[in-house]
Structures are given as structure tokens and as C-alpha cells.
A and B are shown apart, each in its own frame.
Chain A
């Protein structure tokens, strides 16, 4: 039974790439080549998609070869983001494989003279009564896949699947434990040389003069590339490239940079800028009752760094007026579109091929460094140039997740029931990915001689989950609300997509205030939420987390418990989190208990891994993370100045999946961040009796909140 998607509505990725042959092919050596437009960023997507294909085609998963995304051959699936890969790529691939299977069954039926309904497929061998048999590979010459998908037949029923729904081991992990090169950083190409780019210490400072003599004297030096304010060096090995960069830096003269806001008053800054205001949603109550009281609360979230363990890296190689780019970008076609604008080349002259990098958690410098490599490779005489950013540049020039100020006013009646709700957000836009606008968003594009203006980040439309407003519309049945988003039109600190976009901040705010209101009423916070939720799947994850954490454990001094809940984007995965913290000299998160519902979990262990990882990353954001700057420069440019949670500090994480094999699957990568953030904040209140409304929740912030509290 598949009540959510009546056939034959095609999945979005299939509408964009309808040809069956662009997704599936059979190879001479008895394998199945699956081509997808989504990319591996450590989330295990390649394995989950291989499972879907293996199931639908009835071949062993070991026969599946996942081709990495490239603009030369892959379906164009936009960007790997927003926890949409299972939803978009997975649904498309499932449908494609179902149709491919049917075409082969039809051909086998003709060849074997057996009705297709009496044929079975087992690991690619098609057999029927009387021991007749053939296979995909025997038939591949006579079955054309150069047809568009039709939307019928539909895929197997949930009960008939044997691979999807099971915890298959990830296909990429053996390479990673046996140190077989898999990352772009380890890419070996003949004639490979190395590049480094000179970037200013002060944001927006422009290169005025450059003394090149010392860099040119470095042994191994190949070339300096200058294009307006963009400057870089190419050398025949990394040591030489670093030495030449150091020499260039000494010889560089810069203009002043742009001023930065006061990082101790982010709300003051965010609320004083010119903005574009959008009403995201309103709901009107019947008669506007006069509230007995109105609670007005402000919450803030700082700028947060993606802080990938690997600095961004790319390789580019020119051949005449064509260029090949190896990248860990999340969107090969989108990157290509921006490169085409900057290079003034037709897109067909550029091939962008994906190779894994480290986890990126959103739009980091992966795309920027690709343009850097392309520009430097112009001076390398046809040799491939590998460019790697420094840790410092990664932590200062890459985009950050946007800071947010969120104000909620809750009208309460005399029983402290909610009668009205106004939620307003001030934030820079949460998206400035390449390939979506008429102007490029790549960093070097704003540095070259004919620079493109730096794009001020925007927000995806509400239909795609929104940006700063993501998860701001309550899932709770309050009688009236108005949700307003103020997007900044200035951008002194560069921002773009970080996991959940505005979701983490908005869920933190909503769930913190709900907790406060439940307490005012003297009502259990879980009972209070359940009373305001009609969606059974929402109620189920909350009840499951509560049961698993034995809510509510007996009060002990120094220990606190808190709950947070959200459905990611209000359309994706449901997640409830319960935090157990120890509060003394600072806060330590001891345990996070989560329940999650992603519909059909293709790879349950993969889902658990994503939820665990998201929970730990969120705990790190909440307890420690904050991009620091003075009025002229970013100062949190090392791991010492931008600490993240360490092995001794991470909490135990316990995850329960509510499996719903009959419901279309959604992604898990961003479901935990909002609920965990809120759960920790609420546990801090339970433990210490103080509401900390400014992230991160550090010792200083707790003390400040205690001093503010009446």
C-alpha cells in the first residue's frame, strides 16, 4: 500500500533526467553501472542508493557499481543538500530500476517463450519454468534503455524488498580504513603540480601591490598568477608552493578591509541593518481575545563555521580552451554554471567531476577552491594543478552559517494557554550557492580584475523549506500566529548554507519558549506538547523518546533533563530528543536519547549514524561554537580559537528508529540539530533554573543569564 504517491507522478529528478539510460547501464563484465547526480559527503548516500538499485533490479549489491557524479555523463540532480538525496535520487532510481526490470522481463519473455509473469530474477539471472534462463547481460544488446521513464510500472511493494530496509555495510568504508586513496586530497595525476592562493587577513581587503621577487626565487617555483586582486602561485610540490605563498604574503600590500559587527552584540547588529521583510505565514484566530499576558523573548544564534576537518581542495587541468575540474562540490552542474560565467566559456567546454572530500555540512569553500584551481591552472602549461586552502582561510574566508536573532511574543490567556504567537527572525540569507543566479558566488569572482559583486545571501523559497525561516512555522495547533522573516541586505560576514539553515535557531527558540510556558502552567512539557500536536507521527516520536529515556527521571541535584522536537522543514524527518546534562562548573551533556521517523529507512544503521552524528555536532554547536571576530578580522581561525567537542566530551547517544516501510523515505542528515539544541537548553533550565537564550551555552553565558534573572 502506498497511500502517499499515486503513480504515475514522476519523482523530480526523473522529470529533469527522464532517460532510463542516464541512470542505469549493464557492463560487459557482468556488472550494473548506476549513475546518479548526488554525491557522497560522508552521509552514506551512495550505499543507500546502491541498495535501492539492487533491490529493484534483483542483483547482488556487490554487482552494483556507483559512478561518481560528473557533468560529462551524470543525471543533473542539482545539489546534494537539504536531506533530499533519498527523497529525490532514491525515488527516481527506484522508479528507473523498476522500469528497466520490466523492459528486460519483456525481452526475456520473448526470447524464452515464457509469460513475463512466470519469470523470476535472481542476481541478474532471469529464469522460468522448465529451467529456461537468460540474464540482463545476455539481453543487454537487444534492450534499449534510451527511453524516457513513464511512471509505470510502480516499484516493488515494501514487503518484497530484501536489501532496502536493511543495514548494509557502506561501500566506501573499506577504502578509508585501508588507506586506499579515495579523497580528492589524495588524487594522483601525471604531472600534478601545486597551487596556493594569497588571501587577505582582513575581509574584503583588496590587493594593491605585490612584490613577486622572493616567491620567484623559491626552488620549484613555476608561476605566479595575478588577475586584479586575485593572486596565487604554482610550484612543483606542496612545500615549494607554501614557501612561495609565504614569500608573496610578505610582499603584499592590501587596502583596508570592511568593518565587522560587534560580536558581543549580534542581535543589536542584526536588528539595525536594512532588511527585506517577508511574512512567512499567518493564521488568524476567531475573535482576537485580549491576552492576560504576553511573553516576549529573544533568542540568538552566532555565526557557525562548517569547519570541515579537511581544508577545501580542487584540481584543474586545461587542454586548449577546455578545462577539467575535480572537486568535492555538492553540485557539479551548479559549479560548472558559475565557472562558465567567470571564464566566459560555454558550459560544454568545462567538465566538473566529483571526488569525495571530507564532510562539508553545507556550502563551505569547496566551490571557491575549484575556481582558484581553474585560474591557477591557466599558468601551468596543461598540467593539472591541485589547490588546497589553509586551515586559516577555511576558518575565515569560507562562508559561515548565518547568525540569527529571533523574537517570539506569545499571548497567554488567564490559564496560560497560548492564544497568539508572533515569531520574527533577523538574519542574513542562508544560501549563496553557485549556479543559481546570473552572477557567480565563487570567492575569486569577486577578486579578479573585472570583479563580480559579492552576492548578498538569499533564502530558498518556503516551498523548498525556506532559509532563515526554516522550521519557523509551528507544527503546534496554536490558534493564531504570524511568522516574519527579515533578511539582511548587507553582509559584512559571508554566509551560506550550513546544515538546517535557520532550522536550528528557530527550533531552539520555539521549543525553549514552549518549555517555559509549560512550566508556567505547571504542566509536564511532554504532555503540553502532545496536547498541541495532531500529527500522529509527531506524537509517536515524542512518546518513543520519552519511553526510551524513562521520562521523566527522578530529580537529582546537578542533573537536568530537557526535550526538543521538530519535523525537519515541517515536511521531512520527525525527530524528538531528550538531553540529560550535568550542570556544575559549566554544562556537560551526558546522554542524548532520540527517536526518529524518516518513513522507510533504506539503511537503518545509516540513519542511526546520521542521527548520532547530527546530535553530536549539534551538541558541539550548542556548547562551544561561535565564530569570533574583532571589528576588522575573523579571529577564530584555528582549532584552538574555534574548539569543537572532543572524544571525552561527547555524550552517549541512543537512537530509536520508527520504521514505516510503507511511507516514502526522507533524509536524516539534518533532523537532529534543532531538537538536540532545544533539548540541551531545556535541560540546562531543568538543572540550573536559568534560561540561556543566547547560543552557545557556555559558562559565561550561564552566569550572565543568572545575573539577569530576577
Chain B
């Protein structure tokens, strides 16, 4: 089994896995990274999103061979309690969830958006989150949280 090397939350990482194993299984099963959640296994709900080279992508149907040499960021790599990402602060400030199972994937989509567009309009935020499903109906709070984070980042 060849070792597949990639960056995970800023750290060089190598794992011996079957090349067709999914990134989500490797993150959760091998590396103990549990922020990315299984939702559908078909890339349709966004619960498993991670950032791959600054783009939000589904990890549940992403084979490991395609991860080689990529830069992967999960919510564990966004920020910490001590040094939170503005999005994490904003999601707390806006109480932007109900159950929160979809939130990791939404934080990733939002972080990817703010990297390419630091001051998005509300419509742009909604468009960027459109591939993430939320069943509890917390959408508007999440959109407000993303706009709050963008404003905070612009001000700092």
C-alpha cells in the first residue's frame, strides 16, 4: 500500500491507505478528525465538507489518490477556543444553529468563500452555502453569522 502524503491543517501528513478509500473515512477512522460528518455519502448534503486547496469540497466521495499533495483544512484547523476563527466567534454570537450537525461543513464553505471574497453580499453568502443542507432551518442565522465574520475581518 503506497503512502499518500498531504497537508492536514498545516501539518505534513502521510497515511498508508487504499487509494480508493475516501478522505472522510481516513479523516474520521484513521486520523481521529471528526469535524467532517457523514451525511449522505454522495456529495449532496455538505456535512462532510473540507477545504481542499482553499475550495470547499465533499470528502465523502473523494478518493485518497486525489488527495495526494493537496492542502486539506478541516474545522479543527480553522481556529481554537483560544484563537478562534472569526466565523467560529460569529456562529456563537449569532447562536447560528439548532442541532449543529451540518455546521462543520457550513463553516468550511463559509471560510472558503471569505478567502476568495472577503466582503460578500448576502446573496453571495447564500449562493456559497447553497450546496450545504440544513434541516433545522437555521439558514438565516448562519448567513448573518458569515456576514458578521466578514465585517469583523474587514475591520481588523
Residues of A within 8 A of B (CB): 41-44, 169-170, 172-174, 176-179, 181-183, 185-186, 188, 237-239, 307-311, 356-359, 361, 388, 390-391, 605, 609-610, 612-617, 620, 638-640, 644-648, 650, 652-653
Contacts and interface: CB of A to CB of B under 8 A. Distances in A.
A309 B45 CA distance: 8
B140 A650 contact: yes
A612 B138 contact: yes
A390 B139 CA distance: 25
B11 interface: no
B140 A612 contact: yes
A209 to B, nearest CB: 27
A638 B42 contact: yes
Given A388-B38, A652-B140, A170 B95 contact: yes
B95 A609 contact: yes
B137 A613 contact: yes
Interface string B25-66: 100110010110111111011010000000000000000000
Nearest to B18: A239
A473 B39 CA distance: 39
A331 B123 CA distance: 41
B9 to A, nearest CB: 11
B101 A358 contact: yes
A671 B112 CA distance: 36
24 contacts: A42-B98, A172-B100, A173-B95, A177-B100, A177-B107, A185-B34, A309-B99, A309-B101, A356-B99, A358-B101, A359-B136, A391-B40, A391-B41, A609-B141, A613-B138, A614-B137, A615-B137, A620-B137, A647-B130, A647-B132, A647-B139, A648-B127, A648-B130, A650-B137
Contact of A639 (B22, B35, B44, B130): B44
B16 interface: no
Contact of A183 (B97, B101, B123, B140): B101
Contacts of A646: 130, 133
Given A42-B100, A179-B34, A640-B44, A239 B29 contact: yes
Interface of B: 18, 21-22, 25, 28-29, 32, 34-35, 37-42, 44-45, 47, 74-76, 79-81, 84, 87-88, 91-92, 95, 97-104, 107, 123, 125-127, 129-130, 132-143
B25 A178 contact: no
Contact of A179 (B25, B76, B134): B76
B93 to A, nearest CB: 9
A183 B95 contact: no
B132 A359 contact: no
Given A42-B101, A308-B135, A309-B101, 12 more contacts: A173-B97, A176-B103, A177-B91, A182-B100, A309-B39, A309-B133, A310-B38, A359-B135, A613-B98, A620-B137, A638-B40, A647-B143
B38 A311 contact: yes
A41 B137 contact: no
Contacts of B79: 178
Residue of B21, B39, B80, B102 contacting most chain A CB atoms (<10 Å): B39
Nearest to A640: B44
A44 B100 CA distance: 11
Contact of B37 (A41, A44, A183): A183
B37 to A, nearest CB: 6
Contacts of B97: 42, 173, 176
Nearest to B107: A177
A311 B39 contact: yes
Nearest to B140: A653
Nearest to A42: B99
A647 B47 CA distance: 14
Given A311-B39, A647-B143, A648-B130, A177 B103 contact: yes
A239 B134 contact: no
Contacts of B126: 647-648
Nearest to A181: B34
A315 to B, nearest CB: 14
Contacts of B21: 239
Residue of A42, A617, A645 contacting most chain B CB atoms (<10 Å): A42
Given A609-B95, A614-B137, A615-B137, A238 B25 contact: yes
Q: Please name the 8 residue pairs, one residue from A and one from B, whose CB atoms are nearest each other, closest first.
A: A42-B99, A616-B137, A179-B35, A613-B137, A176-B100, A358-B101, A359-B99, A42-B98
